[in-house]
Structure 1
Amino acid sequence: MRISNRLTARALVPSVLVAVLTAAGVQAATQSADAAPKKAAAITACTTAHTKVTVSPVTRPINHLLLKATNTGTKPCYAYGAPYLRAGADAQAPLAWDEDSVPQSVVTLAPGKSAYAGIATYTPDGEGGYTAKTLGVLFANRAMNGSAGPEKTLKLPHNGVHFNSAATVGYWQTSIDQALFG
């Protein structure tokens, strides 16, 4: 009888093992499906609708302003390129973008985080000039060929700031130092 019990036990081991492994595989497959990452929400361009924008004077470098954008929304957003700025209500075109300030990658603003752009208001080699009392701000779209969202108009400090033809705005940066001193 011992021999028959041994043979029966040996015959059962593979079938029990297969059943256990099959059940474990089904359970692992079920867990994998449940734990599969959900599709991440697409990050959109920052706009003035969910971003607080401020402009402030700086002591260095001279003839510069600092533009700060803080994400007030609940989802991250991309600050593409540089902002489109309209210096004064009568401005015919946005300030030129400073191509020497292009960052390594697009700046991503998590909720509560900020991006910065330096504004050179004039240089001695620029021509003409005028005093602007307001600054219109628009965020660039992903293609950087137009704006994303509505314009936000800010009052400039000191009852107006002098701009000339050499005025430029830098690309969005993750720190004040990068924005002002590149």
Structure 2
Amino acid sequence: MSSLRTSRTRLVGAAATAVLAALSLTACDDGTGAQDEGAAATASASPSSGAPSSGTGSNSPDATDDSADSSNSTGATGATGSSASKPATDSTPPASKAPSSSGKPVTCEASNTKTVAALLNRPVNHMLLTVTNTGGRSCHLYGYPAVRFGEAQAVPPVIEESQPQAVVTLKPGESGYASVSLSATDGSGSNGHTVKSLAVYFRGPSGNESVGRGAHPALPAKGVHVDDSLKVTYWQQSMDDAISW
């Protein structure tokens, strides 16, 4: 019995020794012992946990420059995009329109003109009639003015030599002129008298008929002296031509 127990004890011990030996050999062959596994785990964790050691940390000059460049680039792009997307505007105010003179010219008369009568110092005993186109279309001043002073029944004759080469045409805002010789400067005129009212009538294309309304320009409060030598000029384009007779 003692020998049997001893044999069993040795057998168990030998088996245990064999198992330990096998485990030791296995660990040595594959190189994956507990110490090696710990080292491997440490090595594999180093890259992720050691990012600052790569030279691109927040204190790295390169990292700062890249960040600034990126910020500047983004800002420039944003500004450019904003500028490019803003529609161009034209702040120039529209040009003002000039008075329209389109359409066929009409005959000048009181409804589309303004007439002013003014005494002249030179030539003496003369009056200047100024007619200004106040309408929106050009108008023609035909022939000469048919003037009537006071209660006169007839209109004075025209100075034939004063006839212009063409009909006087007034654009809107322009003026035409005629002068009136009121009385003889040497006193040779007859039937002299003072008048305080004046009517000016306008002629049509034929030069004989009166058209439209007549104008009634004011005279000086004391009136003007006229006699039988009373004459008028044709309508003129310029004042100088009108007062030269």
Answer yes or no: same fold by TM over 0.5.
Answer: yes
SS, match of residue 136 in structure 1: strand
Partner amino acid, structure 2, of 1:129: G
1:47 alignment partner, one of 98, 109, 118: 109
2:230 alignment partner, one of 164, 167, 171: 167
Equivalence map 1:64-75=2 (5 Å)? 64-75=126-137
SS, match of residue 83 in structure 1: strand
In the TM superposition, residue 95 of structure 1 has moved relative to its aligned partner by: 1.7
- 8 Å contact kept, 2:201–2:215: yes
In the TM superposition, residue 57 of structure 1 has moved relative to its aligned partner by: 1.1
Give the number of the structure with larger relative contact order, counting CA–CA contacts within 8 Å between residues 6 or more apart. Answer: 1
In the TM superposition, residue 83 of structure 1 has moved relative to its aligned partner by: 0.7
Task: Give the count of matched residue pairs.
Answer: 142
More strand by share: 1
More helix by share: 2
Q: Which residue of 1 aligns with 2:164?
A: 103
Q: Deviations over 1:57-76 (max 9, x none)?
A: 11100000000000000000
Cα distance change, pair 140–46 in 1 and its aligned pair in 2 (3 A): same
Q: Which runs of 4+ in 1 moved over 3 A?
A: none
SS, match of residue 157 in structure 1: coil
SS, match of residue 154 in structure 1: coil
Partner amino acid, structure 1, of 2:202: F
Instruction: Indicate yes or no: 2:125 matched with 1:93.
Output: no
Partners of 2:156 and 2:198 lie apart in 1 by 10
In the TM superposition, residue 42 of structure 1 has moved relative to its aligned partner by: 2.5
Query: Which segments of 5 or more consecutive residues in structure 1 lack a partner in the other structure?
Result: 1-39
Q: Deviations over 1:144-165 (max 9, x none)?
A: 1111111122221252001111
What is the percent sequence identity of the aligned residues?
40
- 8 Å contact kept, 2:115–2:216: no
Query: Which segments of 5 or more consecutive residues in structure 2 lack a partner in the other structure?
Result: 1-101
- 8 Å contact kept, 1:87–1:95: no
Equivalence map 1:1-182=2 (5 Å)? 41-88=103-150, 90-123=151-184, 124-182=187-245
- Whichever of the two has the greater Rg, that structure is 2
> What is the TM-score when the length of structure 2 is the normalising length?
0.56
Partners of 2:238 and 2:112 lie apart in 1 by 20
> What is the TM-score when the length of structure 1 is the normalising length?
0.75
Partners of 1:144 and 1:151 lie apart in 2 by 15
SS, match of residue 129 in structure 2: strand
- 8 Å contact kept, 2:104–2:137: no
